[in-house]
Amino acid sequence: MKLARLGVFGQERAAVVVSDTEAVFVDDVVGDWDRTSLEAGAMQKVAALDLSARPHVLLADYRLGSPVARPTKVICVGLNYAQHAIETGATPPPEPVIFMKAPDTVVGGFDDIVVPPGSNKTDYEVEICVVIGKNALYLKSPNEARDHILGYTISQDVSERHWQTERSGQWVKGKSFPSFNPMGPWIVTEDSLNPNDIRLWCTVDGEMRQDSRTSDLIFGIDHCVWYISQFMELKAGDVINTGTPQGVGMGFKPEKFIHGGEIIETGIEGIGTIKSKVVNA
């Protein structure tokens, strides 16, 4: 199943995608794809619906918003692809590197990415994003993780490297500018996708910059969910960016950052693609 939110910014409606071109609205039954509705059994309510009997709408007629409404946490795993660690000159970490970014960085997968004033080191990062479906705390093993995952979507974890690495303190400073987490186009539910060895890629103005597979993850997705639950309660609707592969702008010599005017296209096998225009603040 594919879960989407359709409509103008701030007025998106929960929907289920039923074909390559069509969806049905379900907001009258579930409210929205957010913590409140998921904790109240939104998925069970949708499973009981006859979606074929509902009016179909064309996806092309609507903006695709973030498939999660107002996530209360955006948790990120850093340096989690072996080849990416090598390109940054870092030693692969013995445990997952965890950091946060502001939840209101999340926008729709086709919304603009806004380069901050004065930035000359804004970077792109394709990531497979886990959406939590059921609260998780102190999971006993990674084997329990799947029971707490709603599904997977595409995340473009935009970063401002000057603020991230040169201004001291935590990475959150380079990660939390408005628009720095386009997400979408929809959530593919956990029962519809095996995320352990799928292709993920990113292009800038048609030039392939990142092209890898999730099999290069240092710490697998289930491991990351289990690990984070040991020190933080994961709530329904929380999202986890699981790391980016090699090919980010800072990894090139000379570096290839984005400055405004570019088109960033981001894709993951089995999920789809998102595309954003880069604009200046």
Q: Which domains does the chain have, with CATH numbers?
A: 2-61 (no CATH), 74-280 (3.90.850.10)
Length of the chain: 281
The H or E element containing residue 221 is helix 221-229
Q: Which residues of 27-51 are buried (b: 16+ CB within 10 A; e: fewer)?
A: beebbbbbbebbeeebbeebeeeee
Task: Profile the chain (281 residues) by mean pLDDT over runs of 10 residues.
Answer: 97 97 98 97 97 97 97 95 84 93 97 97 98 98 97 98 93 97 98 97 98 97 98 98 96 96 98 98 95
Predicted pLDDT of residue 86: 82
| C-alpha atoms less than 13 angstroms from C-alpha of 78 in its C-beta half-sphere | 18
Classify the C-alpha dihedral 36-40-42-43 as positive or negative. positive
